Amino acid sequence: MQNHKNPVITYHPNGEVKSETNYKNSVRHGLEINKNESGQNVTEVTWENGLKRRESKYKGSKDERVTEWHENGQKQQEATLSNGKRHGMETRWNKVGRKALEGNWENGKRHGLTTYWLKGNTIDGFYKFQEENYKHGERHELSLQWDENGHKQYEINFKDGDTHGMNTWWYENGQKKSEGYYVLDKMHSNVDWDYEGNVIKTQLPTPSRQTTSPTKTNQSPKTKYAKS
């Protein structure tokens, strides 16, 4: 069995370091760095007993493409970083290679649509569980969730992180469970149904009461003038 003195270093013809690789029991283990002829990092790879677990590919000095793997060798995650922050599309997979998440980032915050999948009793064993829209890290606009039979469980609207608009929940038989109108996280009206579709509770909007008199806009304020 060949023993390696860590790290093992190779060189470009111009003398610049080409790669630095660590080994354990003659297989790659730990960090491996690959550089171009100008000395800039091109890839960084983390190995674990000969299995690739993480790889960062650099595009220029700011952008980085990161890939990670499960212990069984299946790809676990792909993401893009810019200036050290997540930026662009992120995709995750479970240990059997099925997609578990797909969503977009902008400057380190979720932005746009993110979709989640779960394992369930479906024909192919997996189903779309949730869709959420984000705006600079906050849930914004429509959020949806389904059960493993494809029945919608809820439909909720957000505005900058607060529930805002008409929100609806369903029973597993497809019957509406609750429906309410919200304004900035406060419920203004709501109707609840039982499993058979009978109304069991209704909350109507509370009329607003005017507590102050209208301001008179046609009367000019008195102005004090200095004596000449």
Radius of gyration of the CA atoms of the chain, in A: 29
Our count of domains for the chain comes to 1
Q: Is the pLDDT of residue 228 over 70?
A: no
Q: What pLDDT is stored for residue 224 in this prediction?
A: 38
Residue 26 lies in a domain: yes
Query: Please, are residues 10 and 19 in contact by the beta-carbon 8 Å criterion?
Result: yes
Residue 50 lies in a domain: yes
The count of other CB atoms within 10 Å of the CB of residue 129 is 19
Q: What local confidence, expressed as pLDDT, does residue 207 receive?
A: 59
Q: The whole model's pTM is what?
A: 0.76
Any domain includes 38: yes
pLDDT per residue over 51-99, tens digit each?
999 999 998 767 899 999 999 999 999 999 998 899 999 999 999 999 9
| Residue 157, in any domain of the structure | no
Q: Which residue range is the domain that position 46 belongs to?
A: 1-61
Q: Which two tokens stand for residue 202?
A: 């209704």
18 is a domain residue: yes
Cβ neighbours of residue 145 closer than 8 Å, sequence gap 6 or more: 129, 130, 131, 152, 153, 154
CB 87, CB 108: distance < 8 Å: yes
* Percent with pLDDT over 70 in the chain: 87
How far from 174 is each of 59, 67, 122, 152, 193, CA to CA, in Å?
Answer: 49, 40, 18, 7, 12
On the question of pLDDT at 168 being above 70, the answer is yes
Is there a domain that residue 20 lies in?
Answer: yes
- Residue 34 in any domain: the answer is yes
Please state, in angstroms and rounded to a whole number, the distance separating the CA atoms of residues 63 and 79: 11
The answer to whether 42 touches 35, Cβ cutoff 8 Å, is yes
Q: Is the pLDDT of residue 136 over 90?
A: yes
In a domain, 47, yes or no: yes
Position 49 pLDDT exceeds 50:
yes
Q: How many CB atoms lie within 10 A of CB 135?
A: 17
